[in-house]
Chain A
Amino acid sequence: MKAIVLRILLQRPGLDRTAGLFRLRLRAGGSQIVLAAFVLVAILAPLISPQNPYDPLQVLGWDASSPPGTVGSGGYAYILGTDGLGRDILSTIFYGLRISLVVSIVSSLAAAMIGLAAGVTAAYFGRWIDAVIMRLVDLQLSLPTILVALIAIVTLGPGVDRIILALIIVQWAVYARMVRGVALSETRKSYMDAAQLLRMPTLRILLRHLLPNSIAPALTLLPIEIGHAIALEATLSFLGLGVPLDKPSLGSAVANGFQYLMTGQYWISLFPGLALLCLVASINFVGDDLRRRLDPRSAAR
């Protein structure tokens, strides 16, 4: 009896519809909350951190390598322990988040814009312009990102701005390739022909017709590439080519702990690494969900 009532209830289109939409929203809810928390923590880092790990006066050397939970000489507990220099791991994570997020978001946005422009240009003009742009893209994509980043960093020198530049160099080609593919199929659609027949200025055709219709894949790629950028920046920092040591990102915080790993002081690299993992994973999950919703083909499934 109950089952029948329930079934009838569920069959009512209005209710089912709301329930469905609710489910849709909830699916990525977990990762979205985690991601929002990370961003919030990054913004509020100076207010909520127990200490400022970049300030040598606040870092107490004799508290170095304290395990998690130790109450330090500063009077507050090192919830996640301290690293080899006595920096509070929790504070390092909070401050490291800021650098990781800024570097990755700025570089990904810039790379997306460059890639968008390059991809649309290549697709529209074709011929030698396309050939030159796409050969560059091919060349870059045929090399692993880590090498391109390495060479770029080695050539450009150290510094946060250089890292951002290196990450842009690494990422733009991915966007360019993807956008070009979509733009190419758009140029074959007849609304582009119609625009040609009206003899509009080329710039107008590019900006008003081709660009808006080719932008979707770049947008869906963005979160995923931000995730990549965070991981790549961390890797570069790990190899000693990233951000300066006195201003650790999540990656260099992990790297700092490598030498202590063998002696069992696991917390120095475990906790920043976990934070890194959660950050990138939540971005990837949110990005995946976004892509599923924006791609009408998979939405139909």
Chain B
Amino acid sequence: MIQEPVVPSLLQMEGFSLEHRSVFGPVSILTDVNFSLGYGEVLGVIGESGAGKSTIGNAILGLLAPQFVRVSGTIRLEGAPIDDRTLERDIRGHRIAAIFQDHTASLDPLMPVGKQIRETVLALDPALTVSEAKEVSLQLMTRVGISDAARRYADYPHQFSGGQRQRLVIAIALAGSPDVIIADEPTSALDATVQKQILALLRSLVDESGLSVILVTHDMGVVAEITDRVLVMRKGEVVEQGRTAAILDRPQHVYTQSLLAAVPRLRQTMAARKVRSTSPQWSDGRSETPILSVRNLSRSFATTGPKYWPWGETAVTEKPFALRDVSFDLLRGSVTGIVGESGSGKTTIGRIMAGLEFASQGCVAIDGREFDVTRPGRRSGILGLVQMIFQDPSLSLNPHMTIERILRESIRYGAGDVERPSDCAAMMERLGLPRSLLSRHPHQLSGGQKQRVSIARALLARPRIVVADEPTSALDVSVQAEIVALLKEAIAETDMTMVFISHDLALVQDLCDQIHIFKAGRIEDAGSPHYIFSQSTHPYTRELIAARSSWFTR
């Protein structure tokens, strides 16, 4: 561990251990955590799910459920230990404020945002009058970058975009001019470009007002972007801490090294490469008939409001994605990346190709046979020709079936005409899953294992086209890398055609022969990875590339 120069510390955690006690006995959550936070410093706390990184923030704020019991250690603010009494009266909001991950859930949906800021201002400084507090609130809104604050003061949270809501949350955190802000995954729910803006805002607040920030995150990119120092957590223990630059450059601990290695890196310049034995057809100049073509596909915005009868239950308002006149081809044996931020229509296009959703206009042709995708998949006949790998493995396996039954079902009903080994056990072996898992139920498997089963199910149906819809975004970084490697292998072995949908440019860079960049339902930019990363001058493509932390762009 690297020794630090002694800085006067603002917040300290000393020998802190925490247990979760339930009827099933105590479980250790944090073990002997030591760190200190300096003035005007941004401290990153990084780790995978279950590392106990969020618990640190909650422990400092005293927001833990009563089942969490402190076993040892103290938390000091400027040398004075924090206890429950001072927390409630003097510390929360006044000295230490918080920003949580879910900006939608952090704000009371039934109260205008201005009032939510104002009540915080008033609670923290009861001497103010209501109109003074409103004045302060408006200043805070302006400070975090809400334009036209006076007009938006009375608006409700749902009338703001995700990025704006997170700005409002930051405004509330700033209301008591705190010394420390604990930011728990503040940007994880946001798109890359918005994430960049929010991080910039946080950094500017630190630089301007000498605020300190504890930033809890799972994303190395965020750590590289704004933190001064970083704490690497694993299973409730600090495995390494030190200056961010030093840790990123020369990680000492094996775990840190593996975390860093797993982060997909973006290469600015790309050499022409050959990843597969059967190289895609366009590279030798011959144009061949595509295996799947999408022609002029459009999907209108879903209308909100009553579904059937005027007085029915409020209909589930579909997310307003739309596709506008999208056309592209998939070449036999190629891997096509579809990249876009949330709401770009990338998932919708994948589901339409698979026949799970229908379009308002356009058609999809597979092997020259046209399907009317404006009708439900079962009727248009397209259903079953394309298999999918879904985003969240915990939702994609029927919890009431054993793994073996799930896979057998896929063999039995799968429709494909290509000969493939269709034995469950062989497939399990190929995907690196122990055979003993066959008799288990999904909830007994880890996230990565579940996703492998999900891949096995898709492959066992012997499809010629597979759509992978963000197959790694619900997984920890280290597992993500394994899944991507697995997919690469699976594609290389066969002449399967694949569509890889992702929000992360770095992920598709190494995997794909062709990349389509979607924005608001349109294809903004398309081409080979070489073109996209080295040559394209399209502003949106450049913005997406720039949104990645420069640390992981080589």
Q: Is there a direct interface between A and B, measured as CB atoms under 8 Å apart in the complex?
A: yes
Q: How many residues of A contact B (CB 8 A)?
A: 31
Binds B, one of A8-16, A48-56, A218-226: A8-16
CA–CA, A189 and B401, complex, Å? 15
A13 touches B26 (CB 8 A): yes
CB pair A16–B26 under 8 Å, yes or no, is yes
A198 with B461, Cβ < 8 A, contacts A128-B308, A190-B396, A213-B400 known: yes
Contact call B26/A20, Cβ cutoff below 8 A: no
Nearest-neighbour CB distance to chain A for B18, whole angstroms, equals 15
The 8 Å CB contact of B22, one of A11, A20, A208, A209, is A20
When each residue 192-219 of chain A gets 1 if its CB lies under 8 Å from chain B and 0 otherwise, what string results?
A: 0111111110000000110011000000
A40 at the interface (CB under 8 A from B): no
Among A19, A131, A193, the residue within 8 A (CB) of B312 is: A131
B356 touches A199 (CB 8 A): no
Judged by a CB distance under 8 angstroms, whether A289 is at the interface is no
Q: A190 to B390, Cβ gap below 8 A?
A: yes
Contact B312 A20 (CB under 8 A): no
Residues of A within 8 A of B414 (CB): 198
| Total number of residue pairs linking A and B with CB closer than 8 Å | 92
Chain A minimum-CB-distance residue to B400: A212
A199 touching B383, Cβ below 8 Å:
yes
In the complex, chain B residues whose CB is within 8 Å of the CB of A127 = 308
A198 close to B384 (CB less than 8 A):
yes
Q: Are B384 and A197 within 8 A (Cβ)?
A: yes
B387 CB contacts on chain A under 8 angstroms: 197
Q: CB-defined interface of A78-109 with B at 8 Å, one 1/0 digit per residue?
A: 00000000000000000000000000000000
Q: How many of B's residues come within 8 Å of A, CB to CB?
A: 39
Asked if B308 and A11 make an inter-chain contact with CB atoms under 8 angstroms apart, the answer reads no
Q: How close is B289's CB to chain A, nearest CB, in angstroms?
A: 24
Q: Which residues of A are in contact with B by a Cβ distance under 8 Å?
A: 11, 13-14, 16-17, 19-21, 23-24, 127-128, 130-131, 134-135, 189-191, 193-200, 208-209, 212-213
The interface of chain B, by Cβ under 8 A from chain A, is: 22-26, 307-309, 312-313, 351, 354-356, 377-378, 383-384, 386-388, 390-392, 395-401, 409-410, 413-415, 454, 457, 461
A–B pairs, 26, beta carbons within 8 Å? A13-B25, A13-B26, A16-B23, A16-B25, A16-B26, A19-B23, A20-B22, A20-B24, A21-B23, A24-B23, A128-B308, A131-B307, A135-B312, A189-B396, A190-B396, A191-B399, A194-B396, A196-B356, A196-B378, A197-B354, A197-B356, A197-B387, A198-B410, A200-B413, A208-B398, A212-B398
Q: Besides the contacts A13-B25, A20-B23, what 20 more A-B pairs have beta carbons closer than 8 Å?
A: A20-B24, A21-B24, A131-B307, A131-B312, A135-B309, A189-B395, A190-B390, A190-B391, A191-B399, A193-B356, A193-B390, A193-B396, A194-B388, A196-B377, A197-B355, A197-B387, A198-B414, A199-B383, A208-B398, A209-B398
